Chain A
Amino acid sequence: MDLNYTPEDLAFRKHVRAWLEHNLPPEPIRTLEDRRRWHRRLYEAGYLGMGWPKEYGGGSARPMEQAIVADEMARANAPAPTNGLGLGIVGPTIIVHGSEAQKQRYLKKILMAEELWCQLYSEPNAGSDLASLKTAAVDQGDHYVVNGQKIWTSGGAIADWGLLLARTDTKVPKHKGISCVLMSMRQPGVDVRPLKQITGSSEFCEVFMTNARVEKSDQIGKLGEGWAIAQTTLGYERGGRSLARITTYASQYHHLVNAARRLKRHGRPLIDDPLVRQKLGRIWAELEVERYSALRVLTQLERGEHPGAGGSLTKLSYSEFEKRFMELAQEILGPYGQLTDGAPPEYQLQIDTAVGDHGTWAYAFLWSRAGTIYSGSSEIQKNVIGERILGLPKETRADRAGATR
């Protein structure tokens, strides 16, 4: 056990920090084209697709190097690249399950942000019970015709392509009748409507498919293997954001402490109120525990071990923590915390959101409600932990056998 970074990792961190100092965009990013440009700079510097194999344009980097780059970007408050789902989910899926032709066709364009991707999984009636999805892909010889509706599609509004889970067989149990295909979002049969969330912004979309066309050559893996493929994809998170996430929390925390020095109750600064101090102490402890646990996961990844269902512990832990943290921020900031406009600088929170707006405490607070729902709610994570880590018996469920319809 040695929790010091190696000299190589320290040198790499220094190198990344220096690169960011010289290359950060001087102006906030406002347009998608600006963000694509920034994305390509990051890629050319070797800081995107780092974990992908070299032969497909990646860097074959170690998990720690990926974590360091993301961490330094968080430290520098650097804008995010675009195509997060292309880099994090679609690319790895194609690398693991795709044909050589598919790899040649799609991977480089993902890395260069020439084609932006979304993930078409959830449906209005298939959330936690994703395998009950109803969007149908009907075999027409050389292509499929797709009809149905998807929801919670991140980046749907800007995506050129979507990784789609669709039902190709209704006569087998629900987990067995799903296939995985790549669908062009730029066709008449695909209608994308932004979904306005409680934040007032629209990171997510609804996608309506009416006789949309998918080429047979764009099927990933075998017919009916879509569920299994989606399972490996969901488990592909490589811990890349593990340190960055905590660095962002820490920066927000120090903003909050500064606010607590200015704000008063009964004539006394909040920072001197024992109750507030207890709460601040608790959140810092929890934040650091997240960091320690992230170091443990990184150690596993560095040894080539896959955390598997352990990823559910990580996700459950940080998403629930983020809610508690943001509740405390709101408690300390009072109405300042709710401002979406007009906040004095000392009560602002400078973060770069996915859509390129300046962040606010209000936005961060509202957004914290998303983490315990997306990618499997906390309740689903606890089921996974109970069944796959602790080996507790599955509940008796009506849907484990029989055809879908």
Chain B
Amino acid sequence: MNFSFSDDQVLLKNSVRSALDEQCKSAHVRAMMEDSKGYGEPLWGEMAKLGWLGLPFAEEYGGAGLGLVELCLVLEEMGRAAYPGPYVSSVVLGGLGLVLGGTEAQKERWLSAIASGTARLSAALVEESLDWDPASTTATATKTAEGWELSGVKRFVPWAHVADAILVPARAPEGVSLFLVDPRAPGVSLTPMVGIDLGSRWSEMRLGDVAVKADAVVGLLGGATSLLEALLRRAAVCASAEMLGAARRCLDISVAYAKVREQFGQPIGSFQAIRHKCAEMLLGVESAHSTVYYAAWALNAGAEDAAVAASICKSYVSEAARKVCGEAIQAHGGIGFTWEYDLHLYFKRAKALEVLFGDAEYHRELIVRSVAP
């Protein structure tokens, strides 16, 4: 039993930290908020070179062959930097989606392209109802001579506007199935959905009789539910790692501020009202760390409790990050409410991730189903 990072993992974490410290300063994050694409190609290319974009893929697909723990280490650092870009959508939603269910041809076509940074993927996992249960899918897939025609409306599709292919669940006569869709194909229209976190880009994706070939099916026809559940678990834990990073950054900024900001002739950190708040934030962050890396390990190792650990992780970290980032603004007072100060970048990132891939209530229901069947 060893709940600590290996030397290699520490090395990876440090190298991600120093690269992002250098190339993803808050000035970069703010510049990308104004950018039409929303992310920077130079940094994307650098991430490809450093091996981050293929991190969880097998070496035969140009990947680094690492696991979810390493992926979460990278994502924690990205959360810490409020990194703006399609990393989770491309590597986790698209990439791991294909790793879990893709055919050999699909993996060959896309994984090495993701890893080299030449292609970006995404997945359209939710519709108007916001029900993350794959069984709720209402988009339809109709059989044609050549393959399938897809119709329906997907919402909050991350980074769809820069994606080369999007995994789209749709209901075929056989049941819920998963299809690879080219967002530039006739019948697809994308409309931006602009949220408070300008470092997370979403689109509404409308599909009107979109024709896809028979080989666009990912996984078993009619059997995509368990694949999508497995993908959602990974996405939930990866999002939690990013929230953890955002929360830890908010804590660090708050503690540094509490040491220097003086009121009533003393640093505010000497007042128990602020000191206790910071202590509670640290407890939240450390507990979130434990649950993120436990869940990442459990999913990677195929542990018996992996599924419930993922739900525990998402439900716990969603609320812990919300609380820590919110309390950071409170501890700062007025300055924390300004656009100019950086806290809101992390606060908003955590907020955006809190509601994706199942919020705390969604996952608590899954926990009870597992513990009290």
Contact = CB atoms under 8 A, between A and B. Distances in A.
Residue from B275, B297, B308, B365 whose CB has the most chain A CB atoms within 10 Å: B275
Interface string B254-298: 010011000000110111101110111011001100110110011
A309 to B, nearest CB: 10
B189 to A, nearest CB: 37
Interface in A262-279: 271, 274, 277-278
Interface stretch (B2-10, B41-49, B115-123): B2-10
Residue from A1, A387, A394 whose CB has the most chain B CB atoms within 10 Å: A1
Contacts of A271: 372
Interface size band for B: 35 or more
B276 A379 contact: yes
A292 B290 contact: yes
A257 interface: yes
Nearest to B69: A1
B1 interface: yes
B316 interface: yes
Residue from B1, B259, B286 whose CB has the most chain A CB atoms within 10 Å: B1
A3 B300 CA distance: 11
B371 interface: yes
Interface residues of A, number: 51
Interface stretch (A100-108, A141-149, A294-302, A360-368): A294-302
Interface in B1-28: 1-6, 9
A231 interface: no
Contacts of A285: 311-312, 315-316, 364, 367
A299 B290 contact: no
Contact of A284 (B290, B298, B312): B312
A392 interface: yes
Interface string A386-399: 11011111111000
A contact patch SS: helix
A396 B286 contact: no
Contacts of A288: 291, 308-309, 312
A298 B366 CA distance: 29
Contacts of B69: 1
Nearest to B292: A292
B128 interface: no
Contact of A292 (B294, B371, B372): B294
Given A392-B275, A395-B272, A1 B283 contact: no
A55 interface: no
A390 B278 contact: yes
A64 interface: yes
B59 interface: no
B297 A1 contact: yes
Nearest to A397: B270
B2 A299 contact: yes
B215 interface: no
A293 interface: yes
B196 interface: no
B361 interface: yes
Nearest to A381: B279
A278 B259 contact: no
B303 interface: yes
Contacts of A261: 372
B294 A295 contact: yes
A282 to B, nearest CB: 6
Residue from B3, B4, B258, B287 whose CB has the most chain A CB atoms within 10 Å: B3
Given A382-B280, A393-B259, A295 B1 contact: yes
B1 A383 contact: no
Contacts of A392: 255, 258-259, 267, 269-270, 274-275, 278
Contacts of B3: 1, 3, 292, 295-296, 298-299
A295 B286 CA distance: 13
Interface in B309-357: 309, 311-312, 315-316
Given A285-B312, A293-B287, A3 B275 contact: no
28 contacts: A2-B2, A3-B3, A253-B371, A261-B372, A271-B372, A282-B315, A282-B364, A284-B367, A285-B311, A285-B315, A286-B316, A288-B312, A293-B290, A295-B290, A299-B1, A313-B282, A379-B276, A382-B272, A383-B275, A385-B282, A386-B279, A390-B275, A392-B255, A392-B258, A392-B267, A393-B267, A393-B269, A395-B275
Given A284-B312, A293-B290, A299-B1, 4 more contacts: A284-B371, A289-B312, A302-B1, A382-B275
Interface of B: 1-6, 9, 69, 255, 258-259, 266-267, 269-272, 274-276, 278-280, 282-283, 286-287, 290-291, 293-294, 297-298, 301, 303, 308-309, 311-312, 315-316, 361, 363-368, 371-372
Interface of A: 1-6, 9, 64, 253, 257, 260-261, 271, 274, 277-278, 280-282, 284-286, 288-289, 292-293, 295-296, 298-300, 302-303, 313, 316-317, 379, 381-383, 385-387, 389-396
